[in-house]
Amino acid sequence: GDSVTQMEGPVTLSEEAFLTINCTYTATGYPSLFWYVQYPGEGLQLLLKATKADDKGSNKGFEATYRKETTSFHLEKGSVQVSDSAVYFCALSGNTNAGKSTFGDGTTLTVKP
Amino acid sequence: DTEVTQTPKHLVMGMTNKKSLKCEQHMGHRAMYWYKQKAKKPPELMFVYSYEKLSINESVPSRFSPECPNSSLLNLHLHALQPEDSALYLCASSRGQTGSNEKLFFGSGTQLSVL
């Protein structure tokens, strides 16, 4: 079945540092890929998505590129802020498993001033 | 309006109580979901409604009973819960069932404690 593997956390960075959170996936067909973010005490929010190979999703300075050859969708940001502290979930949604999104285990990011 | 609204935000109940969680969206979405999320874990799918009909039940115990009165509302009725059911319950919606391009809109959740 489908699966998503995220780099283990937690990740602690200083403000303005470069961020990478690795995500790889296994899926049949051609899934769409997503990054969701969850701030403390809140639900998940879509951060960015990509629907086909070589697509780049971007939002709020975050970027991720759909790499079919390496089955990866790594999240990057050039300069993190304290307000980026949250839990980040990589997810996929494939048309062979309609109704079910598959989530990674989540990576907790803490940014220190 | 791009919000999914959940009530209540917090709920404490005993193992013999009956309570309900409510979820509402006015985005015209035709798919609605209940997820359960334990601390520091990803959300786990419980139920999916598509066009107001239950389309997926992930083998959830019968003490959880979903209901979709109309296309904007989703309820989760709770009865005789166990302490291990304590978790954050998230409602979500999407335009259609998640397929190749559907993103999920989540509510802020109900933090449930079962004593």
Confidence label for A100 from pLDDT (cuts 50, 70 and 90): confident
- CB atoms under 10 Å from CB of B101, counted, come to 15
Burial grade of B71 (CB within 10 A; 0-12, 13-18, 19 or more):
middle
Q: Which of A101, A103, A109 should one mutate to test binding to chain B, selecting the residue with the greatest count of B CBs within 10 A?
A: A101
**Is B40 close to A106, i.e. CB distance below 8 A?**
yes
pLDDT band at residue B46, thresholds of 50, 70 and 90? very high
Residue of B nearest to A88 (CA): B42
Task: Report, as an integer, the average pLDDT of B23-42.
Answer: 94
A28-41 confidence digits (pLDDT tens): 888 999 999 999 98
Determine the pLDDT at residue B66.
Answer: 98
8 Å CB contact between B76 and B66: yes
Residue-wise pLDDT tens digits, A47-87: 999 999 999 999 999 999 999 999 999 999 999 999 999 99
Predicted confidence band of residue B30 (pLDDT cuts 50, 70, 90) = very high
Report pLDDT for A106: 97
